[in-house]
Amino acid sequence: MKKALLIALSLGVTATAATATYAAVDPEKDRQELVNFFMKKNPNIKFEDYHMGAYNYSADKMAQYESVEEFPPYLDAIDAGEALYEKDKAVYDKCFGSDVSKVRVKYPYYEESKHRVQTLESAINECRTAAGLKPFKWKKGPIAQLSAYYAYNARGQKINVKINSEGARKAYEAGRKMYMTPMGQLNLSCAKCHTYNAGRRARANILSPNLGHTTGFPVFRAKWQALGTLHRRFTGCQKNMRLKPFKAQSPEYRNLEFFEAYISNGLPIDGPAYRE
Amino acid sequence: MLKFKVKQICTALALSTAFIAASPATTMAAEPTAKALEEGKKLAFNRSKGNCLACHAIKGGKLAGNIGPALIAMKARFPGKAGKQELYDIVYGKKARVPKDISMMPPFGEHAILSDEQIQKIVDYIYTL
């Protein structure tokens, strides 16, 4: 059963490499296959619980997580995000609308006019720049706080990434390819850790499933003692793969985020989530 | 004798199999010394070298992962010279038990993560497990 999926998942990549005849990926079929894979692999984990990442695989860690949630360490960061929002409210409301609960769920999306993926963070900085404000630094600090504020206000809403054009489909496919392809000195791919070996341990770290990967971002990580964006996490994983990471908000990471988010469609947003 | 060095040279130069047969294998110490085994263990445990513990349980290793099988009873599972050669090939990356685009086992030799000599030492060490 695992084999079957592995073949399905690697089909696109292998087919392109081996024959150069190009089989277009159908994102929705792809997503359903991935969901089925995880459902069969762990029948006890409910679909809607996949926003919980690696915690689903360990009762101990889940208990620790729940006790942390009693006094969440990220509340100050959300307050900081709210303060940032209030400070330039007119600017943000002009870009995103004044209902702060309706922003997070729109991202990421494929921006047809610019032929690229727009993420919440890239939109925040574009909005600031257009208003003559200095853009925030990517990955942590104010950008993550503001993004966390929008995420917090959208908690419980379902990830709903749309693919309605060939451009969007291609962006998905590019992200998927990056996810599947072994790279770097260790010959690792994202899929090796987060799909084929999800639930196993690398040293003491339990590997999360990619289903649900984007739901909790930006996350508050104990190791960072602060918030970090999804692209910060991508950077960290690529470093562990002994790769020179791409830049935050590079086209590569935007496509990767688009793929990871689409795959997580239907799961509840719960940013900023607590992670070890 | 194990044909480690020869194999590597052949990969590098893409020489014919006829050459492998004709060429004598490099001589490595038949019985590794205690010191060499200790070095092998260090290489296997070191996070920036083998880092085998990231994925394999190994006797005496702390916080081991469970992505790969426990490295245990190696002599019994990989008997004789051929068995040891197979272990070398697995660590080197020449022999994959699972297709390489899926396997987590890094190709330590093929990707020059470790030198032939380091792989040899690690294999000698895990052979004692």
| Per-residue model confidence as pLDDT tens digits over A45-94 | 999 999 999 999 999 999 999 999 999 999 999 999 999 999 999 999 99
What integer pLDDT is reported at residue B77 of this predicted model? 95
Contact A188 B106 (CB under 8 A): yes
Number of domains comprising chain A:
2
List the structure tokens of A71. 């006094």
Distances (CA, A) of B40 to A52, A97, B55, B56, B118: 39, 62, 17, 15, 7
Report how far residue A214's alpha carbon sits from residue A135's, in angstroms, rounded to the nearest whole number: 23
A104 and A129 part of one domain: yes
pLDDT of residue B12 exceeding 90, the answer is: no
What's the rounded Cα separation, in Å, for the pair A261 and B70? 35
Q: Which of B103, B104, B113 sits opposite A185 (nearest CB)?
A: B113
Residue A109 three-state SS: strand
Task: Choose between B21 and A193: higher pLDDT.
Answer: A193
Closest C-alpha among A132, A119, A128, A125 to residue A217: A119
Q: Which of B46, B62, B63, B101 to mutate to test the interface with A (most CBs of A within 10 A)?
A: B101
Domain B2-23+31-126, CATH class in plain words = mainly alpha
Phi and psi at A201, nearest 5°, equal -110, 130
Last residue of a domain, one of A98, A119, A153: A153
* Nearest-by-Cβ selection for A187 from B63, B66, B100: B100
Check B66 against A14: CB less than 8 A apart. Answer: no
Confidence class for position B30, pLDDT limits 50, 70, 90: low
B67 to chain A, any CB pair closer than 8 A? The answer is yes
Dist CA B84 CA A162 (whole Å): 53
- Distances in Å between the Cα of A189 and the Cα atoms of A65, A176, A209, A240, B45 are 28, 11, 13, 11, 23
- Tell me if B104 and A196 make a contact (CB, 8 A cut-off): yes
Cβ B101–A185 below 8 Å, yes or no? no
- Given the residues A95, A190, A193, A237, select the one marked as catalytic: A237
Is A95 an annotated catalytic residue? no
Helical H segments across chain A, by residue range: 2-19, 27-41, 59-70, 75-87, 89-96, 120-130, 142-153, 166-180, 190-191, 230-240, 251-263
**Residue A176 sits in which domain range?**
2-71+163-275
Q: Average pLDDT of chain B?
A: 80
pLDDT bucket at B14, cuts 50 / 70 / 90: very low
A272 upstream amide cis, omega within 30 of 0: yes
| Whole-number pLDDT of residue B37 | 94
Predicted model pTM: 0.88
What does the alpha-carbon distance between residue B70 and residue B58 come to, in Å, rounded to a whole number?
6
ipTM of this complex: 0.86
Asked if A6 and B102 come within 8 Å (Cβ–Cβ), the reply is yes
**What residue ranges do the domains of chain B occupy?**
2-23+31-126
Tell whether A264 and A168 lie within a shared domain. Answer: yes
Number of neighbours of residue A28 by Cβ within 10 angstroms:
11
Are residues A42 and A167 both part of a single domain?
yes
- pLDDT of res. B101: 86
Q: How many CB atoms sit inside 10 A of residue A116's CB?
A: 16
Q: What is the pLDDT along chain A (276 residues), one digit of tens a residue?
A: 344 444 445 444 443 344 444 578 999 999 999 999 999 999 999 999 999 999 999 999 999 999 999 999 999 999 999 999 999 999 999 999 999 999 999 999 999 999 999 999 999 999 999 999 999 999 999 999 999 999 999 999 999 999 999 999 999 999 999 999 999 999 999 999 999 999 999 999 999 999 999 999 999 999 999 999 999 999 999 999 999 999 999 999 999 999 999 999 999 999 999 999
